[in-house]
Amino acid sequence: MKAIIPVAGIGTRLQPLTNKVPKVLINVAGRPMLFHLIDELVKNGKIDAVILVVGYLGDQIISAVNNEYADSGVKFEFTEQKEMLGLGHAVYHAKEFAKDEPVIIILGDTIFEFDLNAMLSCPTSAIGVKDVEDTSRFGIVESKDGLITKMIEKPAPGVTISKSAIAGIYFIKEGRRLFEAIEYLMYNNIRTKNEYQLTDALMKLVEDGVKMSPFEIENWFDCGKPETLLSTNNYLLNRDHNIEGEYLSVNSKFIEPVYIGNNCKIVDSTIGPNVVITDGVTIKNSTIKNSLICEDSEIENAELDGVALGIGESITGKHENVMKADEIITKF
Ligand code: UTP
């Protein structure tokens, strides 16, 4: 089975964190978010080839994946989306890779807990869904008798077809027809919100008589926004908390769950709960909770709660619910 993972996007909602690192390589609970996803595919055993559609800071993704999964037994390929023309357009770059076979498509900035084997044994194509309150931010599906009848990408406020949101994982048995449907959108310049949407291509398949079922995803963690990035971080830390690297701690207190990477120095500080500190971070005389601290940053005389600190940044003083990198502070 082949998998397509689009990871070309700029990650504007996570700026300035994404100024130096692509969104999918941001560390969540001790591991880049993309690795949480690929780990599941590798573990599954049925996926033998994966293509990543790269774009923004794509070289970093290519070398990270090649290093991490060199001995995984899964073959990795990469293709470049040069213009961000939407998810349908990104997926289209995998046409040659997929050939006429069934494919799994998974968005690179989401982490899932669900039974992939159950999805792969669906008799029809299947789209991962989960009920949401605010339907205007998602692709929404309507179904009848176990089959999808309608899909709308980010419906306008007041337009409600259901609460069932497309969670970013798709199992498409009719691979060739999917690429034809995307081609149809591109040839006829059919865009929604100025992009060639995967949802629109899938809707065309439904209209053309392809059977698709909604498949309930147990847990779906969107990592694409500051508040969901930190809540996903907290959830995964609480799930897998005994993960840590080699670091130096002097006169410091740790309140679990906490993840600390390699080569960190922590002096006279209280860390936790729900804190991820990645490699090479120095912390002195500070209190940190509910925060994500990226590589090589320095924290001194600080009190942080709900802070995402970018690579190589310095911070002092009291901060709540902010993302900080390149001297920009964005409240969320
Ligand atoms: P998003 O819609 O979250 O876009 O894409 P984004 O660029 O990552 O983030 P924002 O909206 O600017 O904050 C969901 C997934 O689809 C990929 C993204 O890389 C992400 O993994 N994608 C999206 C592409 O590969 N190409 C596209 O043209 C659009």
Report pLDDT digits (tens) over 138-151: 899 999 999 999 99
- CATH number assigned to the domain comprising residue 274: 2.160.10
Q: Report the pLDDT averaged over residues 174-186.
A: 97
Domain-terminating residue out of 194, 224, 254: 224
Q: Residue 55 Cα, ligand 1 centroid: separation in angstroms?
A: 10
Work out the pLDDT band at 157, boundaries 50, 70, 90: confident
Q: Residue 85 Cα, ligand 1 centroid: separation in angstroms?
A: 10
The separation between the first and the last C-alpha atoms of the chain, rounded to the nearest angstrom, is 40
Residue 117: is its pLDDT beyond 80?
Answer: yes
In a domain, 209, yes or no: yes
Q: Report the pLDDT averaged over residues 118-122.
A: 96
Tokens of 163: 């609460």
**247-295 pLDDT per residue, tens:** 999 999 999 999 999 999 999 999 999 999 999 999 999 999 999 999 9
In a domain, 235, yes or no: no
pLDDT score, position 160:
82
Alpha-carbon distance of 231 to 289, in angstroms, equals 12
Residue closest via CA to ligand 1's atom 22 equals 9
* DSSP three-state, residue 61: helix
pLDDT score, position 280:
97
Q: Residue 19 Cα, ligand 1 centroid: separation in angstroms?
A: 15
Alpha-carbon distance of 229 to 96, in angstroms, equals 33
Domain-terminating residue out of 224, 257, 274: 224
* 134 and 178 part of one domain: yes
Q: Which atom of ligand 1 is nearest to the CA of 5?
A: 21
Q: Report the pLDDT averaged over residues 92-119.
A: 95
In degrees, to the nearest 5, what angle opens at C-alpha 131 toward C-alphas 129 and 137? 85
Instruction: Write out residues with Cβ below 6 Å of ligand 1.
Output: 6-13, 23, 53, 81, 84-87, 89-90, 107-109, 224
Q: Which atom of ligand 1 is nearest to the CA of 23?
A: 8
* 208 and 290 part of one domain: no
Q: Residue 249 Cα, ligand 1 centroid: separation in angstroms?
A: 38
* 190 and 255 part of one domain: no
* Dihedrals phi, psi of 256, to nearest 5 degrees: -65, 155
* 284 and 198 part of one domain: no
**Burial letters 254-291, b for 16+ CB under 10 A, else e:** beebbbbbeebebeebbbbebbbbbbbbbbbebbbbbb
* 34 and 92 part of one domain: yes
In degrees, to the nearest 5, what angle opens at C-alpha 26 toward C-alphas 291 and 170? 115
**CB-count exposure of residue 67 (10 Å: 0-12, 13-18, 19+):** exposed
In a domain, 67, yes or no: yes
* 10 and 88 part of one domain: yes
Q: Residue 168 Cα, ligand 1 centroid: separation in angstroms?
A: 11
Testing ligand 1's pocket by substitution, the residue of 62, 89, 107 carrying the most ligand atoms inside 8 A of its CB is 107
- CATH number assigned to the domain comprising residue 28: 3.90.550.10
Q: Residue 225 Cα, ligand 1 centroid: separation in angstroms?
A: 12
Q: Residue 135 Cα, ligand 1 centroid: separation in angstroms?
A: 18
pLDDT score, position 328:
53
In a domain, 175, yes or no: yes
* 197 and 70 part of one domain: yes
* Dihedrals phi, psi of 214, to nearest 5 degrees: -75, 140
* 46 and 187 part of one domain: yes
* 268 and 129 part of one domain: no
Segments forming the whole domain that contains residue 152? 2-224
Helices and strands (H and E) in the chain: how many: 8, 25
In a domain, 239, yes or no: no
In a domain, 91, yes or no: yes
More confident residue, 241 or 17: 17
Testing ligand 1's pocket by substitution, the residue of 87, 153, 227, 323 carrying the most ligand atoms inside 8 A of its CB is 87
Residue 329: is its pLDDT beyond 60?
Answer: no
Residue closest via CA to ligand 1's atom 27 equals 86
* 132 and 256 part of one domain: no
Q: Residue 39 Cα, ligand 1 centroid: separation in angstroms?
A: 20
**CB-count exposure of residue 180 (10 Å: 0-12, 13-18, 19+):** middle
Q: How many domains does the chain have?
A: 2
Residue closest via CA to ligand 1's atom 9 equals 11
* 43 and 157 part of one domain: yes
In a domain, 205, yes or no: yes
In a domain, 229, yes or no: no
* 47 and 177 part of one domain: yes
Q: Which atom of ligand 1 is nearest to the CA of 85?
A: 28
Closest CA to 281 of 258, 260, 259: 260
**33-78 pLDDT per residue, tens:** 999 999 999 999 999 999 999 999 999 999 999 999 999 999 999 9
